[in-house]
A = this chain, B = another copy of it.
Amino acid sequence: MSKIPQIDAIDRKIIRALQRSGRMTNLELAAEVNLSPSPCLRRLRNLENNGAITGYSVEVNAKAYGLPVTVMVRISLDKHTEDVVLRFEERMKAIPEVLECFVMTGLSDYLLRVVVSDLEDYERFVRDRLHPIGGIGSIDTSFVYGVVKRTNVYPEYQG
């Protein structure tokens, strides 16, 4: 049972503003949510300490960094004993190319988002990173051809 921090409409405005522009100054943020700087900063710190805000990050052009290929990988395990599952999930956390790993409903057990520099690099990833884990039943690879939309901004809350 985790505590439920009380979030109100102003907090949501703060969150959405920072999802759009995570490094805006407290003065800009305060103006945007119609507060003066001090209560705005206090609310922000509360959200951070609450666990509502878990961190900040920069958005990077993956190609410019040298990782132009994004791959979505759906993986099923061939058995679901605790040791197989734990081993797999520990490996996921440890592999740097795996940026996201979700447990899914539906046909596949896991959905991974993986970044690599080229096709050859992805082959290496499957051969040297995935296969050695063991217990994997199937791997279904889909490459990202294009990005239609990518945003961090949540929809306005319809309370």
Prevailing SS type, chain A contact patch = mixed
Chain A count of residues within 8 A CB distance of the other chain = 70
| Residues of chain A whose beta carbon lies under 8 Å from any beta carbon of chain B | 4-5, 7, 12, 15, 18-23, 50-62, 64-67, 70, 72, 89, 92-93, 96-108, 110-111, 115, 117, 140-159
Identical copies in the complex: 2
- In the complex, which residue of chain B has the Cβ closest to the Cβ of A102? B144
Output the residue of A89, A110, A111, A159 with the most chain B CB within 10 A.
A111
Q: Are A105 and B64 in contact (CB under 8 A)?
A: no
In angstroms, Cα B97 to Cα A28, docked, is: 26
CB distance from A107 to the nearest CB of B (A): 8
In angstroms, Cα B157 to Cα A51, docked, is: 31
Known: A93-B148, A98-B149, A159-B66. A106 touches B57 (CB 8 A): no
